[in-house]
């Protein structure tokens, strides 16, 4: 797993086991011991937690064994299941895991950056317009950050709509992006800093630290294997408070610079955004239907079938 495109030598190794993991705890604190014997609290903890690298994308997902006396079932409001139909081409447990994470990654891309898959000749094989874009357009009546970046740095025609909100980074804020389609340009994002003397938010200068350097994705994907049904249920858990989304909002603005253009501009962070309101928009106001949302020319691609399956399942659970 490539940890950071700016440092290609930093890779994370993916290890797995298909056998149960036995954990033994030695506890000297009585309060903690009582906590661990509370089945509701213990199951909630494992349900809302992953461990290790790329936790929010489903890696490091452990649950209590169904045969354990402390086990209690947990399901999220937004979820989808991978069963025989989705896993029919897999031969090994490693193939199964890869398929599960492929579904998770594909779905997350539809929410945040969208999908524009091209072949080596530059022909688009599959296209899915970002739902973060749709939120900016329909809820905030604004352009979103990717459009603004293209207008400022890459010379595309400017829209008449003036206001821009940084919706995409509400689903996970990182400071570096590589724009391969634009001469491999490196885009750097920094949050504002607070100037005590000037009593205002502004772009950091020199070695000044921004108010926020990173924010993990507020969506935790929790895949759970059912060894009776031989299925994987992928739960979506919203964690706005845990990732301190409010702290990100409090920085007010994101400043975006281009490695090749040597200048920057600022865009506002939408104060009313929440992951719950974003999903309410997708499945209620927008009432997304993948058949009509994705252009017909891409319906033969495997991504279309995968996404239609995910979205139809989520809608049926609401």
**Other Cβ atoms within 10 Å of 237 Cβ, number:** 21
pLDDT score of 232 more than 90: yes
Closest Cα partner for 1 from 80, 89, 102, 93? Answer: 102
**Average pLDDT estimate for 190-215:** 86
**Average pLDDT estimate for 223-229:** 91
**Average pLDDT estimate for 296-308:** 96
pLDDT score recorded for residue 314: 97
pLDDT score of 87 more than 60: yes
pLDDT score of 94 more than 70: yes
**Average pLDDT estimate for 204-226:** 90
pLDDT score of 286 more than 80: yes
pLDDT score of 219 more than 90: yes
Q: Cβ distance 290 to 127 under 8 Å? A: no
Q: Cβ distance 237 to 222 under 8 Å? A: yes
**Average pLDDT estimate for 85-111:** 89
* CA 255 – CA 154 distance, rounded (Å): 17
Closest Cα partner for 303 from 124, 54, 96, 76? Answer: 124
> Which of 20-29, 44-53, 256-265 has the highest average model confidence (pLDDT)?
44-53
- Residues 6+ positions from 304 with CB-CB distance below 8 Å: 126, 290, 294, 298
DSSP states of 242-266 as a string? TTTHHHHHHT-EEEEEETTT--EEE
**Average pLDDT estimate for 205-210:** 85
> Which of 23-37, 131-145, 169-183, 287-301 has the highest average model confidence (pLDDT)?
287-301
User: What's the whole-number average pLDDT of the chain?
Assistant: 87
Tracing tokens 């993916």 back to the chain, one arrives at 14
pLDDT score recorded for residue 183: 62
| Rg of the chain on CA atoms, in Å | 22
Four-CA torsion 119, 124, 126, 127, nearest 10 degrees = 140
pLDDT score recorded for residue 13: 63
Domain extents in the chain: 30-140+213-250+270-317
pTM of the model: 0.88
Sign, CA torsion 275/280/283/287: negative
Query: In 3-state terms, what secondary structure has residue 191?
Result: strand
pLDDT score recorded for residue 6: 54
Q: Cβ distance 48 to 237 under 8 Å? A: yes
Share of the chain above pLDDT 90, in %: 48
**Average pLDDT estimate for 228-250:** 94
* H and E: helices and strands count for the chain: 10, 13
Instruction: Give kind and range of the element (H or E) at residue 111.
Output: helix 93-111
pLDDT score recorded for residue 11: 59
Q: Give the confidence band of 72 by pLDDT, cuts at 50, 70, 90.
A: very high
pLDDT score of 217 more than 90: yes
> Which of 1-10, 174-183, 298-307 has the highest average model confidence (pLDDT)?
298-307
pLDDT score of 12 more than 70: no
Q: Give the confidence band of 157 by pLDDT, cuts at 50, 70, 90.
A: confident
Least confident of 49-53, 133-137, 177-181: 177-181
pLDDT score recorded for residue 179: 66
**Average pLDDT estimate for 280-300:** 96
Query: Which has more pLDDT, 294 or 264?
Result: 294
pLDDT score recorded for residue 221: 95
pLDDT score recorded for residue 129: 95
């Amino acid at each position: 797993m490539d940890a950071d495109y700016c440092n290609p030598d930093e890779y994370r190794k993916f290890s797995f086991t298909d056998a149960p993991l036995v954990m033994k705890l030695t506890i000297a604190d009585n309060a903690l011991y009582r906590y661990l014997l509370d089945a509701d609290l213990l199951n909630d903890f494992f349900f809302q937690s992953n461990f290790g690298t790329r936790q929010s994308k489903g890696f490091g997902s452990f649950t209590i064994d169904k045969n354990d006396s402390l086990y209690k079932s947990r399901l999220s409001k937004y979820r989808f299941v991978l069963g025989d139909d989705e896993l029919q081409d897999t031969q090994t447990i490693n193939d199964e895991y890869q398929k599960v994470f492929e579904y998770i990654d594909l779905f997350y891309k539809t929410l945040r950056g969208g999908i524009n898959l091209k072949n080596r000749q530059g022909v688009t094989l599959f296209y899915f317009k970002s739902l973060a874009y749709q939120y900016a357009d329909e809820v905030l009546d604004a352009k979103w950050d990717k459009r603004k970046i293209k207008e400022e740095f890459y010379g595309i025609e400017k829209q008449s709509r003036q206001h821009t909100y940084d919706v995409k980074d509400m689903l996970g804020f990182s400071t570096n992006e590589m724009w391969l389609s634009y001469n491999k340009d490196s885009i750097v994002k920094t949050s504002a800093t607070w100037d005590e003397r000037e009593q205002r938010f502004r772009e950091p200068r020199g070695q000044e630290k921004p108010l926020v350097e990173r924010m993990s994705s507020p969506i935790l994907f929790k895949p759970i294997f059912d060894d009776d049904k031989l299925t994987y249920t992928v739960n979506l858990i919203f964690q706005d408070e845990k990732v301190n989304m409010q702290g990100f909002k409090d920085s007010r603005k994101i400043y975006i610079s281009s490695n090749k253009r040597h200048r920057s501009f600022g865009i506002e962070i939408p104060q009313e955004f929440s992951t719950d309101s974003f999903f309410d928009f997708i499945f209620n106001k927008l009432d997304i239907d993948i058949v009509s949302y994705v252009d017909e020319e891409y319906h033969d691609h495997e991504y279309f079938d995968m996404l239609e399956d995910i979205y139809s399942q989520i809608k049926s659970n609401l």
